[in-house]
């Protein structure tokens, strides 16, 4: 008999293979170079609405020149763990990031490695981690590591501050430390964490700590691009923020910012990522430093202002077309809910026929029956691009017809797999 996890993997494999067969996933671009907001897939030029380079910095000439200069000076790879030696570029970037975030900072090769190098040396066996159910998959992965080390892991309802407070009240006396782990801006639906409502809980519960992955809002939002969390609240000594540098920053790598120097020092000295992993690569360090200089300049406000205007335009268009958008928060991430996976595939393929690339979003990123169209926009797009896309989405959604959003589970095998998946998720939470 198959285990729950094996059934989960089989279901995931089947759905992902269908996406590949329908040519909406695992696509490769065919361009020799990028110019503007378009990319070429299967011989067709598409306007790309799947990029997370919100500020349009990933092809900025200053970042490219800085990356090339760093490689010319140091080679394409500096092959040493940072526990032994690291390039001076590493320290230069950390100094700039500390200025941006107004807090002691570290750089890591990726956001995943940042999580894995931080939480396991801050949360200990016998501690409690309360994980937002919609938190990024990399945070759930890190929670699995913590669970294996004896940390109690529980999921809490998405952005439900009342449920969080209730659990804190019942658990406060049972744990030395309680960690609330969540995203700052959720990458699938584009909704924000209620940071301003969570902040008072840190004063009310002295054993509460918070850890935010704010990768999707850092750069395009806040003073110097500090992101949503620090745009809403001030630093607290029991707060940690992680973010990737591969989105608005236009570079690569990740940053960790800490409420205290003591936390930063512990992660640097004890975190596995900073002992056993390689460094941020040379070109990425050069590009990230150039991007940080832009973030520390007056230019950033102009870029942020233009993106904010785009967000207002897209929101007004989505409302005008009465599209079933999950969140209308002020972010450049949007999710139009369709429901069944096959209907979503029809919409995505139709949009490609119309000349637009958008992200299909379905299981396992979302529950079965909750598939839809995810799209993002960047400073590469014009207002005309945005208007054309929203109009096309409205037409394609109308073609598949209105649906109640509940997947058809009359197929016995699918019903069994869905039930097994639900059981697996519940057993892990």
pLDDT category at 364 given cuts 50, 70, 90 is confident
Percent of the chain with pLDDT over 90: 88
State whether 159 and 270 are in the same domain: yes
Pair (368, 252) in one structural domain: no
Q: What is the pLDDT of residue 402?
A: 52
Residue spans of alpha helices (H) in 149-243: 161-171, 195-204, 228-232
Q: Residue 417 — very low, low, confident or very high, per pLDDT cuts 50/70/90?
A: very low
pLDDT score, position 128 = 98
| 46 closest CA partner among 346, 350, 336, 333 | 350
> Which pLDDT value is given to residue 251?
97
Q: How confident is the model at residue 425 (pLDDT cuts 50, 70, 90)?
A: very low
**Residue 1's pLDDT is what?**
67
Residues 136 and 37 in one domain: no
CA torsion, ordered 273, 275, 281, 282, to nearest 10 deg: 140
Q: Looking at the domain assignment, is residue 419 inside a domain?
A: no
**Cα four-point dihedral sign 219, 383, 377, 32:** negative
Q: Are 218 and 243 in contact (CB under 8 A)?
A: yes
pLDDT, average across residues 167-186: 96
- Output the pLDDT for position 409: 32
The lowest-confidence range among 254-258, 280-284, 334-338, 412-416 is 412-416
291 lies in the same domain as 309: no
b/e per residue 58-95 (b: at least 16 CB within 10 A): bebeebbebbeebeeebeeebeeebeeebbebbeebbe
Identify whether 420 is part of a domain.
Answer: no
CATH number at residue 193: 3.40.640.10
Q: State the Cα–Cα distance between residues 428 and 267, nearest whole angstrom.
A: 27
Residue 336 lies in a domain: yes
Distance from C-alpha of 55 to C-alpha of 79, rounded to nearest angstrom: 31
Return the residue matching tokens 């940690």.
Answer: 240
Evaluate if residue 427 carries a pLDDT over 80. no
| Pairwise CA distance, residues 306 & 308, whole Å | 5
Q: Which are the contacts of 130, defined by CB distance < 8 A and separation ≥ 6?
A: 154, 155, 156, 164, 167, 168, 178, 179, 180, 181
d(CA 387, CA 45): 18
* CA atoms of 267 and 274, how far apart (whole Å): 8
Q: Strand, helix or coil at 41?
A: strand
pLDDT digits (tens, 9 = 90+) for 252-287: 999 999 999 999 999 999 999 999 988 999 999 999
Number of domains in the chain: 2
Residue 347, in any domain of the structure: yes
The answer on pLDDT for 337 being more than 50 is yes
| Strand segments (E) across 32-125 | 38-41, 44-48, 105-108
For residue 30, the domain's CATH number is 3.90.1150.10
Q: Is the pLDDT of residue 15 over 60?
A: yes
The domain boundary residue, chosen from 267, 295, 323? 295
- Tell me: do 35 and 98 sit in the same domain: no
* Domain-terminating residue out of 295, 329, 358: 295
Direct distance between the N- and C-terminal alpha carbons of the chain, in angstroms, rounded to an integer: 23
Judge whether 143 lies within some domain.
yes
Mean pLDDT, the chain, rounded, equals: 92
Q: Is residue 422 part of a domain?
A: no
pLDDT grade for 403, boundaries at 50, 70 and 90: very low
Q: What is the dihedral of CA 194, 195, 201, 207, to 10 degrees?
A: 120
Mean pLDDT, residues 174-178 taken together:
96
- The boundaries of the domain holding residue 283 are 61-295
Q: Is residue 427 part of a domain?
A: no
Residue 86 maps to a domain: yes
**What's the predicted TM-score (pTM) here?**
0.91
Among 230-239, 242-251, 410-419, the minimum mean pLDDT is found in: 410-419
Tokens of 273: 């990522």
Same domain assignment for residues 167 and 212: yes
Claim to verify: residue 259 and residue 405 sit in the same structural domain: no
Query: Are 9 and 113 contained in the same domain?
Result: no
Domain boundary among 276, 295, 314: 295
Q: What would the pLDDT profile of 203-222 be if each residue is shown by its tens digit?
A: 999 999 999 999 999 999 99
| Same domain (yes/no): 396, 357 | yes
43 and 149 share one domain: no
Beta-carbon count within 10 A of 281 CB: 18
Cα–Cα distance, 344 to 358 (Å, whole number): 11
258 and 285 in one domain?
yes
Same domain, 48 and 79: no
Torsion, Cα 375 378 381 382, to 10 degrees, reads 110
Mean pLDDT of the region 9-16: 91
């Amino acid at each position: 008999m198959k285990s729950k996890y094996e059934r989960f993997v089989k279901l995931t494999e089947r759905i992902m293979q269908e996406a590949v067969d329908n040519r909406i996933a695992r696509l490769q671009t065919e361009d020799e170079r990028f110019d503007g907001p378009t990319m070429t897939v299967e011989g067709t030029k598409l306007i790309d609405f799947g990029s997370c380079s919100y500020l349009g910095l990933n092809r900025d000439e200053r970042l490219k020149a800085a990356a090339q200069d760093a490689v010319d000076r140091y080679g394409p790879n500096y092959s040493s763990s940072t526990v032994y030696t690291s390039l001076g570029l590493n320290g230069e970037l950390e100094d700039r990031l500390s200025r941006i975030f107004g807090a002691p900072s570290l750089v890591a090769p990726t956001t995943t490695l940042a999580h894995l190098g931080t939480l396991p040396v801050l949360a200990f066996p016998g501690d409690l981690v309360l994980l937002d159910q919609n938190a990024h998959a990399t945070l759930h992965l890190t929670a699995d590591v913590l669970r294996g080390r004896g940390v109690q892991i529980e999921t809490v309802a998405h952005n439900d501050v009342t449920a969080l407070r209730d659990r804190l009240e019942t658990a406060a006396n049972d744990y030395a430390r309680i960690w609330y782990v969540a995203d700052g801006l959720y990458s699938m639906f584009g909704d924000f964490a209620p940071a301003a409502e969570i902040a008072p809980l840190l004063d009310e519960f002295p054993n509460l700590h918070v850890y935010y992955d704010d990768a999707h809002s850092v750069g395009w939002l806040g003073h110097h691009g500090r992101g949503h969390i620090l745009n809403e609240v001030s630093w607290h000594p029991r707060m940690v923020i992680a973010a990737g540098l591969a989105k608005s920053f236009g570079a690569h790598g990740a940053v960790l910012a800490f409420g205290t120097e003591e936390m930063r020092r512990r992660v640097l000295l004890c975190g596995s990522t900073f002992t056993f992993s390689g460094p941020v690569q040379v070109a990425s360090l050069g590009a990230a430093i150039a991007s940080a200089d832009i973030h520390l300049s007056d230019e950033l406000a102009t870029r942020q202002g233009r993106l904010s205007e785009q967000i207002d335009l897209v929101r007004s268009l989505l409302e005008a077309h009465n599209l079933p958008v999950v969140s209308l928060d002020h972010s450049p991430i949007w999710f139009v809910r369709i429901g069944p996976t096959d209907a979503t595939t029809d919409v995505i393929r139709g949009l490609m026929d119309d000349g637009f690339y958008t992200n299909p979003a379905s299981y396992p990123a979302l529950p079965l029956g909750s598939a839809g169209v995810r799209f993002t926009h960047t400073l590469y797009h014009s207002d005309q691009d945005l208007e054309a896309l929203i109009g096309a989405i409205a037409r394609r959604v109308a073609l598949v017809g209105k649906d109640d959003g509940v997947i058809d589970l009359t197929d016995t095998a699918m019903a069994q797999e869905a039930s097994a998946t639900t059981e697996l998720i519940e057993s892990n939470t």
